[in-house]
């Protein structure tokens, strides 16, 4: 698990704030669910045969003997909350969430045991139009933060019936190739053969090139849906590729599944994954509620954005002070400026003025505010422009009355 250090945090905050604005503009509402849930929620919601539930969850008994799990993803929790709080009584829900998720995986670049997702869920929406909008919200967000070199891949997993025919045929085919499969895939053959399509093993992927394709098993209705989605994406000028092998890791998907990948992340290529999960809400005890969602991996996104996305966060004012009785006055002035929305940092050192000025320079402040014994006796503060090319102190230095701090505030704001 990884610390997020002050040096990196600005990038996170920028991405988060762009996300919030983007979601607000699309009329999405935020939902925050607990990080801890009963294990049963994920076992039922994600599926026992998946890697996430089978191998990756942080599960323990609490003091009341209940089996609890740190959430490995957000969708099951959102679904639970929507059911429990009767949110669907107010119609379909267009929601977003963000926060830490936990999976016991082998840590590497872009893969951590605590990681963060940003996700959108459309609960109770069935139309292909809602799918196109949901995908466009992800696509536009990645454009908004300036991500380049990304690709949208799309597939249709059809209905349960479509998939069960396919599963049978795929199993027959895989059994013939059993000896050529990797260890993980051999184990999956009986539990969850579709997941083998999702294998990250290159040899298995090569082998699968000749496997039967899910596409051939889609009903006419499923196929029509899929074509309509493609048509809408064309109209939106969102480029995509159809990938019939795209199945996604979790059990609950049906019809549309999609991923947005980058060519710069090695085997951690997926930045955003999503799809339709029509059965989830009813599996968890709610009514029949077609739904669709996606999640973006924040660590991967931020890795990809690299340094392009830092803007140096410099305080406007550095408050230099020295001498008896200046402590309280300095802190008081700082508070007044902060109340007025002006970022200001206070020097604590009591060292020489020149040392304090050096520090102000080092952190890149635009102004130094100076309170020494001399100023205090005259009941003024001095304001000095830093990094100024002009040597004329008349244009770079100003004094303000301590009893009229509002004048200083007005000056700094203009
Ligand atoms: P992968 O195939 O890379 O394991 P996944 O299919 O398990 O991904 P999802 O469950 O769809 O991933 O989660 C959505 C997104 O969350 C992923 O596309 C990825 O960006 C991010 N993500 C998933 N697991 C991790 C992790 N362990 N560390 C960092 N990001 C992750
Ligand atoms: Mg995974």
Query: In this structure, what CATH number is given to the domain that contains residue 73?
Result: 3.30.930.10
Atom of ligand 1 nearest to the CA of 113: 27
End-to-end CA distance of the chain: 45
Residue with the smallest CA separation from ligand 1 atom 19 is 297
Distance 56 CA to ligand 2 centre (A): 9
User: Quick one: average pLDDT of 252-279?
Assistant: 89
Q: Mean pLDDT score of the chain, rounded to an integer?
A: 92
- Cα(192)–Cα(196) distance, integer angstroms: 8
Look at residue 398 and tell me if it is in a domain. yes
Q: Ligand 1 pocket by C-beta < 6 Å: which residues?
A: 73, 103, 105, 110-112, 115, 117, 249, 268, 270-273, 295, 297, 299-300
Residue 50 region by backbone torsions, left for phi larger than 0, else alpha for psi between -120 and 50, else beta: beta
- Cα(245)–Cα(26) distance, integer angstroms: 31
Is the CA virtual torsion 45, 185, 244, 159 positive or negative? negative
- pLDDT tens digits, residue range 309-332? 655 556 789 999 999 899 999 999
Please tell me the total count of domains within the chain.
Answer: 2
pLDDT for 76: 96
Query: Kind of pairing, strands 270-276 and 317-321?
Result: unpaired
- Same domain, residue pair 60 and 128: yes
> Can you give the length of the chain in residues?
414
User: Quick one: average pLDDT of 135-156?
Assistant: 95
Distance 249 CA to ligand 1 centre (A): 9
pLDDT for 93: 98
Domain region containing 358: 317-413
pLDDT for 392: 67
- Cα(86)–Cα(144) distance, integer angstroms: 34
Distance 181 CA to ligand 1 centre (A): 24
Domain boundary among 309, 333, 366: 309
pLDDT for 327: 95
With the most atoms of ligand 1 within 8 angstroms of its CB, the residue from 57, 201, 258, 273 to mutate is 273
- pLDDT tens digits, residue range 43-78? 998 887 788 998 999 999 999 999 999 999 999 999
pLDDT for 265: 78
Identify the bridge partners of residue 99 per DSSP, sorted by sequence position: 117
- Same domain, residue pair 299 and 354: no
User: Quick one: average pLDDT of 210-214?
Assistant: 89
């Amino acid at each position: 698990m990884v610390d997020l250090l002050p040096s990196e945090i600005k990038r996170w905050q920028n991405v988060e704030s762009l996300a919030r604005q983007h979601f607000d503009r699309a009329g999405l509402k935020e939902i925050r669910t607990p990080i801890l849930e009963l294990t049963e929620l994920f076992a039922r919601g994600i599926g026992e045969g998946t890697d996430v539930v089978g191998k990756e969850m942080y599960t323990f008994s609490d003091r009341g003997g209940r089996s609890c799990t740190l959430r490995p993803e957000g969708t099951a929790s959102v679904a639970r909350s929507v059911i429990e709080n009767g949110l669907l009584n107010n119609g379909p829900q267009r929601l977003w969430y963000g926060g830490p998720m936990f999976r016991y995986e082998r840590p590497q670049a872009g893969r951590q045991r605590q990681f963060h997702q940003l996700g959108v869920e459309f609960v109770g929406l069935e139309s292909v139009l809602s799918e196109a909008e949901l995908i466009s919200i992800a696509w536009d967000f990645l454009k908004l933060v300036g991500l380049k070199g990304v690709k949208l891949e799309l597939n249709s997993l059809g209905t349960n019936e479509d998939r069960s025919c396919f599963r049978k045929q795929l199993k027959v085919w895989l059994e013939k190739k059993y000896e050529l499969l990797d260890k993980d895939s051999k184990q999956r053959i009986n539990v969850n053969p579709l997941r083998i399509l999702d294998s990250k093993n290159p040899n298995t992927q090569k082998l699968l090139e000749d496997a039967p394709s899910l596409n051939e098993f889609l009903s006419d209705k499923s196929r029509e849906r899929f074509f309509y989605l493609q048509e809408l994406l064309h109209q939106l000028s969102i480029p995509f590729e159809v990938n019939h092998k795209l199945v996604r890791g979790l059990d609950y998907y049906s019809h549309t599944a999609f991923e947005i990948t980058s060519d710069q992340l090695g085997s951690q290529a997926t930045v955003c994954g999503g799809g339709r999960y029509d059965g989830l809400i009813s599996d968890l005890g709610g009514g029949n509620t077609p739904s669709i969602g996606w999640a973006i991996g924040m660590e991967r996104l931020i890795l990809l954005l690299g340094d392009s996305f830092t803007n140096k966060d410099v305080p406007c004012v550095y408050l230099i002070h020295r001498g008896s009785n200046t402590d309280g006055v300095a802190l008081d002035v700082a508070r007044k400026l902060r109340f007025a929305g002006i970022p200001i940092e206070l020097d604590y050192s009591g060292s020489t003025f020149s040392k304090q000025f050096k520090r102000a320079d080092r952190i890149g402040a635009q102004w130094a505010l100076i309170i020494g014994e001399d100023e205090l006796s005259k009941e003024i503060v001095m304001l000095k422009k830093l990094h100024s090319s002009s040597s004329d102190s008349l244009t770079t230095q100003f004094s303000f009355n301590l009893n009229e701090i509002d004048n200083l505030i007005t000056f700094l704001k203009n």
